[in-house]
Amino acid sequence: MTNDRAAVQYDIEKKSLLVAYVLWLFLGYVGAHRFYLGRPLSGLIMLGFSGVVLLLSFLSFGLLGFLWALVGLWWLIDALLIPVMAASRNRGIADQVFRRRW
């Protein structure tokens, strides 16, 4: 019975690849998928970096293309990392949920 409860809890808390990719596609440049996958520090860094790029876009056009290229590169690399991040997060959730029963 306890094992069933833990399995249900895991199913409730586990992260979906589909949701992660939708967040990445539409809000990836601000790190929304990283927040969803339990990586708030890198999400904040990505959010801050995007904010700086946006601020610089209003102030200067010299570095704009290069900075947007960096944001875009990070965004594309994350497309490859999402399955690993989701699996890692789900493994952490499983460890936490199944450890509770002991």
Predicted confidence at residue 87, as pLDDT, reads 96
For the stretch 4-41, pLDDT in tens is 888 889 988 999 999 999 999 999 989 999 999 999 99
Neighbours of 90 (CB within 10 A): 18
Of 60, 63, 35, 61, the C-alpha closest to 48 is 35
Please tell me the distance from the alpha carbon of residue 47 to that of residue 96, in angstroms, as a whole number.
28
Boundaries of domain holding 80: 2-100
Number of domains in the chain: 1
pTM of the entire predicted model:
0.73
Please tell me the distance from the alpha carbon of residue 12 to that of residue 87, in angstroms, as a whole number.
15
